[in-house]
Amino acid sequence: MGSWKLSQEHFGHPGVMENASFSLGRALWAFLLAILGSTTGQPLAGESVCTARPLARYSVAFIGKWSQTAFPKQYPLFRPPAQWSSLLGAAHSSDYSMWRKSEYVSNGMRDFAERGEAWALMKEIEAAGEKLQSVHAVFSAPAVLSGTGQTSTELEVHPRHSLVSFVVRIVPSPDWFVGIDSLDLCEGGRWKERVVLDLYPHDAGTDSGFTFSSPNFATIPQDTVTEITASSPSHPANSFYYPRLKSLPPIAKVTFVRLRQSPRAFAPPALDLASRGNEIVDSLSVPETPLDCEVSLWSSWGLCGGPCGKLGAKSRTRYVRVQPANNGTPCPELEEETECAPDNCV
């Protein structure tokens, strides 16, 4: 907003100038209050306004479902084994976005998705809270050091900051993560009691690796966030490529449950992003994803050998690239032989 200036030549007399300054100052102050009161942390045009009670507190449970049974292809068993990074999230209004499908991620989100480094992303969240007043609280949960397990935390939401976003990095991976974008825990005039969501892998669009253990290879120019599916990217080397499936099973899920506690000062959990999570294996309804055998191309035919005046034989071989799992298509024969006329008979 531009600066406001008053001078005697505008009003002609010092008394008039003082009265005009006072009136204009009050009008300007009222205008600023109206602007700040109507826009800071409020939903954008066309979005519903939350009229629920002032504050609500929720427990958040993140459950990893990344098992070798559900995702057998290239499942990481060591260096490092399949696991989940710390969870980092925020309760915010509609004028803040941590990440969004089909949009470019921020530098902080890139660092988190590629290396699990949370510092830059936390600074971005803090800056949004200070500058736009669009973030009410930051919350986190410890890492889960296996593909299947659970971690939990608590968060507080406010009617003007009823949206929740978070991210968890898939480890190891190029720049893959799971999370939610702007989940509204308010529905009209009430807070939702319980929300359960299945989570699927996403690509941050900053690294071009196809497999869990791919070396760092920056995507230039940077791409937007995309959901990874059983058929996209449509490359046989992709660790999530399962052409027999219509859709991937959920790789994780999150549950929000409203806590019935009397209102009191809320102390956000400490951002302990390195400690071990409460690992509880989720063994209920684990899907078995069939993994078909994959073999290499045939080698060249070998030399034809045999006695003179008779038919000889030559052979070729191939090797197994992916072992079958969970009743997938078994491997075919790996060696083939055919008759031939000996080149060098004995």
> How many Cβ atoms sit within 10 Å of the Cβ of residue 262?
4
Q: Is the pLDDT of residue 103 over 80?
A: yes
> How many Cβ atoms sit within 10 Å of the Cβ of residue 68?
18
- State the distance between the two ends of the chain, measured CA to CA, in whole angstroms: 98
Q: Is the pLDDT of residue 5 over 90?
A: no
Non-local CB neighbours of 180 within 8 Å, separated by 6+ positions: 164, 165, 166, 197, 199, 254
Looking at residue 305, its pLDDT comes to 80
Grouping H, G, I as helix, E, B as strand and the rest as coil, residue 5 is coil
Q: For residue 139, what are the β-bridge partners?
A: 89
Task: Identify the CA nearest to 168 among candidates 80, 89, 222, 77.
Answer: 89
Q: How confident is the model at residue 199 (pLDDT cuts 50, 70, 90)?
A: very high
Higher model confidence: residue 128 or residue 86? 86
Looking at residue 326, its pLDDT comes to 79
Looking at residue 342, its pLDDT comes to 82
Residue 198 is which amino acid? D
Q: Can you give the pTM of this predicted structure?
A: 0.72
Separation between Cα atoms, residue 24 and residue 36, nearest integer Å: 18
Q: How confident is the model at residue 79 (pLDDT cuts 50, 70, 90)?
A: confident
What value, to the nearest 5°, has the Cα angle with vertex 257 and ends 140 and 120?
20
Looking at residue 285, its pLDDT comes to 62
Separation between Cα atoms, residue 242 and residue 311, nearest integer Å: 44
Q: Is the pLDDT of residue 18 over 50?
A: no
Q: Is the pLDDT of residue 177 over 50?
A: yes
Q: Is the pLDDT of residue 172 over 50?
A: yes
Cis peptide upstream of residue 221 (ω within 30 degrees of 0): yes
Q: How confident is the model at residue 48 (pLDDT cuts 50, 70, 90)?
A: low
Cis peptide upstream of residue 268 (ω within 30 degrees of 0): no
- H and E: helices and strands count for the chain: 4, 16
